[in-house]
């Protein structure tokens, strides 16, 4: 029910930011983001609004769960 | 694409599948609540990857699918009004009402514009001062705060020709109805990732605590869904029932407080009818009285309509997870994406659409 | 035909009557009278300089080589009319050239008919005609017949173009969408979705920025090179609206075969992937204007691939699938995650979605 795309903030102007994903740039709105956004932050964008700042540490840990199991998959 | 491609890595996915196959013993039924999860599962052929004794059931988390036909009919009635512009997300365009659809009405001359964000709807109002702009508000707790924020902006800017037709709903009452349903035996919920970004873990606690059904909040890439299934299997095999977050990069236990504050400022809970589930108390959102200038229901007099459910349509049972699309006699015959009978087929993430589009 | 070395126009006879860089189309321009004639002589003829047009006869009479004639026609109504990498004129030429090429025909002649809306900027018309002239030269085709009509303001959308193309099919070429055979390999000439996303990026209300340009290009040279390697090409298609999904489903149905694709082999540029993620679109259904699908028996695949990769429009040619006897009429794809999914016929317009 919720397409949410991870995008990186490239510039901020009030409640509007320019966000970037792999070659595509869009304007997004920061009205409902619960943290102060900084240029360089990655956020989840839904229907043109940033709803969460991506936790880079958690993102990495989700992928690293495999290291615990003693399996190092391709591309890790 | 950062934060996307890594979660589609075939190597990790293979590993997760192997882990699930190793640890899963009991035959179980898991429900993916969210329509976007249904699409991920179907598009990536995840059902085929899992052992046969794990069944995935699709739930009612498709906002378009659970909007009663009356909602579409009333939106169409609005579209037919003189000097009225309907602004809508693309998702609603093809949904069949009792007689016709918004797309067909556009063909008849109704002014219906597809927007990507609700701010575009507000802009339309600013650019078309002698038209009424009505924004069709569908979506759950992920989308509703964004609509609320724009209603606040509209109030600040004193925009007089912008209203929202709120058909928003909230997820927890539906989960409660499902888990209390005697016909359905759900062993675990794959919970919606982005709804949870807003609401956090707390609303799922009663499901785990009072009904003993584990809940794992999952992201939307194939790795996320499989990892969530793995976590559910682990809980079930251990006899546990907790709320866990798989989607930790985007969901924190407390959720997004700011978004909830905005939402609660502008919207109030109300009873609402879910297609398939029927009326659920405090499961919908209506525009609060101090924002009545932006409430379509106060601006317009569109009488309630009795929508007709098409005969033979099994959307109701499918939304409750009781039946699968192939069980419906209309599936792939009278009901196809080109000529959908029910919302489950026309919504981009409706269960029937996902099965039709992706399943071999 | 004299070689055309520059695209500088000849000066029109009555400059005062039609001001070139400003001014709009008026109803008189379509009336068949003096204004019409001046429009044709000032704008159209100088662009497509060739003896046929200069005659200004009712019909062009050509000496046609013996053989089979391929005929195709298409209408172009794209909005916006100018987009990154091209315009409606370039599309009108290349689209029709490619339809002929995909049939295995050598494109020779085009007709070009225009419906102009009253009020359309003459400067834009000129831009489009310059573009069409350049595209026809690049594709080595001549525009030998044309027509212009003007409709009242509001009854059209700036400019609509129809092009009809005529080409020559050699005796030993037998290419058809109904000719795909089990065991054929499916080759795709390059990454998909560029055109559709480039056009969408210009649409009001979607406002996203991308460096993507349309892949609009003439494929006849590449087809000629393929057919030089082997005449054993069974089917070809240039996937346009509806993306590769539409073309593959059409061929699967026409030939009554199944097609299996490998997701990992289908090229998609990062910018297309990201735009599709953001809008909720699937690249398989996004339009192209310079790509070719080629169905070839296995023994000729490497030769055809090599020929395609020598051509500027086929550098990234890859085998993306094969024809099978199972699930006849359907296209199935092995996903990168190890599962299988159907690639269904597209419904119609893809609208951006939030769910």
What pLDDT shows up at residue B69? 87
Which of A1, A5, A58 minimises the CB distance to B61?
Answer: A1
What gap in Å lies between CA B213 and CA C114, rounded to an integer? Answer: 66
What chains are in contact with C, requiring at least 3 Cβ pairs below 8 Å?
A, B
Nearest one of A33, A59, A4 to B248, comparing CA atoms: A59
- pLDDT the model gives residue B360: 63
A5 versus C51: the higher-pLDDT residue is A5
- Domain residue ranges in chain B: 5-64+181-245, 67-170+255-299, 315-358
Joined together, the tokens standing for residue C148 give 């212009």
The pLDDT of residue C14 is 41
Specify the pLDDT at position C131. 96
B221, B39 contact by CB (below 8 A) = no
- CA C333 – CA C320 distance, rounded (Å): 10
Two tokens at C98? Answer: 């490619």
Distance separating alpha carbons of residues B28 and B57, to the nearest angstrom: 10
Domain with residues C27-169, CATH architecture: 2-Layer Sandwich (3.30)
**Domains C27-169 and C185-342 are alike in CATH topology:** no
Report whether B82 contacts B130 (CB < 8 A).
Answer: no
Token pair of C330 as six digits: 């359907």
Do the chains contact at B3 and A3, CB–CB below 8 Å? no
B112 contacts: CB under 8 Å, gap ≥ 6: B79, B85, B86, B88, B93, B102, B103, B105, B106
In chain C, which residues touch A (CB < 8 A)?
A: 207-212, 269-271, 273-275, 277-278, 280, 353-355
Q: At what angle do helices B10-23 and A56-68 cross, to 10 degrees?
A: 60
For chain C, the structural domain boundaries read: 27-169, 185-342
Q: Which of residues 1-40 of A touch C (CB under 8 A)?
A: 1-3, 5, 7, 21-27
Q: Two tokens at B259? A: 């978004």
Q: What is the pLDDT of residue C348?
A: 73
Residue spans of the domains in chain A: they are 5-68
CA A6 to chain centre: 4
- Beta bridge pairs of residue C340: C334
pLDDT of residue C205: 62
Cβ–Cβ of C335/B45 closer than 8 Å?
yes
Min Cα–Cα distance to chain C from B239, Å:
30
3-state SS, residue C77: coil
- Smallest Cβ–Cβ distance between A23 and the set C207, C211, C355 belongs to C211
- Shortest CA distance to C293 belongs to which of C256, C275, C266? C266
pLDDT at site B240: 96
Res A1: pLDDT: 58
Helix, coil or strand: residue B345: helix
- CATH domain B5-64+181-245 topology: Rossmann fold (3.40.50)
Q: What is the pLDDT along chain C (355 residues), one digit of tens a residue?
A: 333 333 333 434 443 344 455 689 988 888 888 888 888 888 888 888 788 777 777 788 888 888 899 999 999 999 899 999 999 999 999 999 999 999 999 999 999 999 999 999 999 999 999 999 999 999 999 999 999 999 999 999 999 999 999 999 999 999 999 999 999 999 999 999 999 999 988 876 666 888 899 999 999 999 999 999 999 999 999 999 999 999 999 999 999 999 999 999 999 999 999 999 888 889 999 999 999 999 999 999 999 999 999 999 999 999 999 999 999 999 999 988 888 888 988 877 777 677 7
CA distance A11 to chain B (A): 18
**Residue from C339, C343, C346 to probe the interface with B (highest B Cβ count within 10 Å):** C339
Going by the DSSP 8-state scheme, the letter that residue C109 receives in this structure is E
CATH homologous superfamily of C185-342: PurM-like C-terminal domain (3.90.650.10)
Q: Would you call the peptide bond into C80 cis, given omega within 30 degrees of 0 as the criterion?
A: yes
- The answer to whether B78 and B165 are in contact (CB under 8 A) is yes
Inter-chain residue contact B44 with C280, CB threshold 8 Å: no
Tokens representing A54? 């991506």
Closest Cα in chain A, distance from residue B196 (Å): 11
The per-residue pLDDT for C44 is: 86
Beta strands in B218-358 (DSSP E): 243-245, 267-274, 278-287
Nearest to C343 by CA among C274, C228, C234, C258: C258
Averaged pLDDT score across all residues of chain A: 85
Long-range Cβ contact pairs of B18-22 (< 8 A, separation 24 or more):
B19/A69, B19/B230, B20/B50, B20/B51, B20/B54, B20/B226, B20/B229, B20/B230, B20/B233, B21/B51
Residue C333, beta-bridge partner list: C261, C341
Rounded to whole angstroms, how far apart are CA atoms A54 and B250?
6
Which pLDDT score, from 0 to 100, does residue A67 have?
54
Residue C11, burial from CB neighbour count under 10 angstroms (0-12, 13-18, 19+): exposed
> pLDDT: is A71 or B168 the higher one?
B168
- Write down the ipTM of this complex: 0.91
DSSP state of C44: I
pLDDT of residue C9: 36
Q: Which CATH architecture has domain B67-170+255-299?
A: 3-Layer(aba) Sandwich (3.40)
CB B141 within 8 A of CB B170: yes
Give the span between the Cα atoms of C142 and C130, in whole angstroms.
Answer: 14
**Which residue has tokens 């949410």?**
A4
Pairing of strands B54-61, B28-34: parallel
CA distance C322 to C183: 6
3-state secondary structure of B331: strand
Topology match between the domains B5-64+181-245 and B67-170+255-299: yes
To test the contact with chain A by mutation, choose from B66, B224, B250 the residue with the greatest count of A C-beta atoms within 10 A, namely: B250
pLDDT, position B173: 95
Minimum CA–CA partner of B50 in chain C: C339
Q: Under CATH, what is the fold of the domain A5-68? A: SH3 type barrels. (2.30.30)
Closest CA in chain C for residue A2: C355
Chain B: residue nearest A36 by CA?
B258
- Is the pLDDT at A75 greater than 70? The verdict is no
A42 contacts chain B (CB < 8 A): yes
Q: What residues does B113 pair with on adjacent strands?
A: B87
Cis peptide before B143 (omega within 30 of 0): no
DSSP state at residue C140: T
Tokens, residue B52? 């046969």
Across the interface, of C210, C271, C278, the residue whose CB is closest to A5 is C278
Strands A49-53 and B28-34, bridge-based pairing: unpaired
Alpha-carbon span B61 to C329, nearest angstrom = 32
- pTM for the model stands at 0.86
Least CB–CB distance from B360: residue in C332, C337, C352: C332
Tokens representing residue B180 in the block: 């209390």
Binned average pLDDT, 10 residues per bin, chain B of 360 residues:
89 92 94 92 88 92 88 93 92 86 91 90 95 96 97 96 97 93 90 97 97 97 95 96 96 97 98 90 97 96 77 85 90 86 80 81
Cβ neighbors of A64 (< 8 A, separation 6 or more) are: A76
pLDDT at C50: 80
Whether residue B348 and residue C339 make contact (CB cut-off 8 A), yes or no, is: no
* Contact between B14 and C337 (Cβ < 8 Å): no
Interface contact A51-B197, CB threshold 8 A: yes
Contact B262 A34 (CB under 8 A): no
d(CA B359, CA C271): 28
In chain A, which ranges are continuous DSSP H helix? 56-68
């Amino acid at each position: 029910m919720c397409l949410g795309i991870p995008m990186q903030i490239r510039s901020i102007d009030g409640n509007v930011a320019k966000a970037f994903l792999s070659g595509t740039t869009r304007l997004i709105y920061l009205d409902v983001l619960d943290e102060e956004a900084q240029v360089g932050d990655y956020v989840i964008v839904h229907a043109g609004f940033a709803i969460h700042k991506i936790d880079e540490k958690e993102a990495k840990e989700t992928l690293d769960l495999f290291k615990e199991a003693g399996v190092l998959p391709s591309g890790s | 694409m950062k934060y996307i491609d890594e979660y589609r890595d075939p190597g990790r996915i293979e590993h997760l599948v192997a882990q699930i196959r190793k640890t899963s013993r009991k035959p179980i039924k898991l429900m993916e609540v969210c329509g976007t999860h249904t699409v991920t599962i179907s598009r990536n052929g995840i059902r085929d990857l899992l052992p046969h004794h794990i069944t995935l059931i699709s739930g009612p988390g498709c906002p378009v699918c659970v909007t009663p036909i009356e909602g579409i009919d009333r939106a169409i009635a609005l579209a037919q009004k003189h000097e009225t512009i309907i602004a809508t997300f693309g998702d609603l365009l093809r949904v069949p009402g009792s007689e016709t659809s918004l797309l067909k009405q556009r063909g008849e001359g109704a002014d219906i514009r597809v927007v990507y964000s609700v701010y575009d709807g507000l802009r339309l109002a600013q650019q078309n001062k002698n038209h009424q702009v009505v924004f069709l508000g569908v979506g759950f707790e992920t989308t509703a705060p964004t609509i609320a924020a724009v209603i606040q902006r509209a109030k600040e800017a004193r925009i007089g020709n912008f209203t929202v037709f709120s058909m928003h709903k909230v997820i927890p009452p539906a989960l409660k109805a499902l888990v209390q349903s005697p016909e359905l035996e759900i062993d675990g919920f794959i919970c919606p990732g982005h709804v949870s970004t807003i609401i956090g873990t707390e609303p799922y606690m009663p499901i785990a605590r009072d009904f003993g059904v584990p809940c794992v909040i999952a992201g939307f890439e194939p790795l996320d869904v499989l990892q969530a299934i793995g976590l559910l299997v682990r809980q079930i095999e251990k006899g546990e029932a907790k709320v866990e977050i798989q989607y930790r990069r985007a969901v924190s236990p407390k959720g997004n407080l700011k978004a909830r504050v905005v939402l609660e400022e502008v919207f109030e809970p109300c009873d609402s009818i879910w297609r398939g589930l029927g009326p659920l108390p405090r499961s919908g959102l209506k525009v609060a009285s101090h924002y009545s200038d932006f409430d379509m229901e106060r601006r317009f007099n569109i009488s309630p309509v009795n929508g007709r459910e098409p005969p033979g349509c099994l959307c109701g049972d499918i939304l409750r997870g009781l039946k699968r699309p192939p069980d419906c006699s209309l599936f792939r015959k009278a009901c196809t994406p080109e000529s959908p009978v029910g919302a489950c087929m026309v919504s981009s993430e409706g269960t029937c659409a996902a099965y039709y589009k992706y399943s071999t | 035909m004299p070689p055309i070395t520059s695209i500088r126009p000849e000066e029109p006879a009555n400059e005062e009557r039609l001001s070139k860089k400003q001014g709009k189309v008026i109803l008189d321009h379509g009336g068949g009278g003096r204004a019409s004639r001046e429009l044709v002589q000032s704008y159209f003829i100088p662009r497509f300089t060739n003896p046929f047009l200069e005659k200004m006869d009712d019909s062009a009479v050509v000496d046609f080589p013996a053989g089979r004639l391929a005929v195709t026609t298409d209408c172009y109504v794209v909005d916006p009319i100018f987009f990154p990498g091209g315009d409606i004129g370039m599309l009108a030429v290349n689209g029709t050239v490619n339809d002929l090429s995909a049939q295995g025909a050598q494109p020779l002649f085009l007709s070009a008919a225009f419906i102009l809306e009253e009020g359309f900027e003459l400067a834009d018309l000129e831009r489009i005609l310059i573009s069409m002239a350049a595209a026809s030269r690049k594709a080595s085709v001549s525009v030998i017949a044309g027509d212009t009509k003007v409709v009242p303001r509001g009854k059209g959308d700036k400019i609509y173009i129809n092009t009809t193309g005529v080409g020559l099919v050699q005796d030993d070429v037998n290419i058809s969408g109904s000719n795909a055979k089990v065991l054929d390999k499916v080759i795709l000439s390059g990454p998909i979705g560029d055109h559709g996303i480039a056009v969408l990026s210009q649409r009001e209300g979607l406002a996203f920025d991308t460096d993507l340009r349309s892949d609009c290009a003439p494929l006849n040279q590449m087809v000629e090179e393929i057919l030089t390697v082997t005449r054993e090409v069974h089917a070809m298609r240039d996937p346009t609206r509806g993306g590769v999904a539409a073309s593959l489903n059409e061929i699967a149905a026409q030939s009554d075969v199944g097609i299996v694709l490998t997701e990992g082999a289908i090229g998609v540029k990062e910018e297309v992937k990201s735009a599709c993620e953001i809008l909720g679109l699937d690249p398989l259904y996004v339009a192209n204007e310079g790509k070719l699908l080629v169905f070839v028996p296995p023994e000729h695949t490497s030769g055809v691939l090599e020929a395609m990769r020598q051509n500027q429009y086929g550098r990234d040619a890859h085998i993306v699938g094969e024809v099978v006897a199972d699930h006849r009429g359907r296209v199935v794809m092995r996903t990168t995650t190890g599962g299988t999914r159907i690639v269904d016929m597209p419904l119609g317009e893809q609208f951006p979605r939030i769910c």
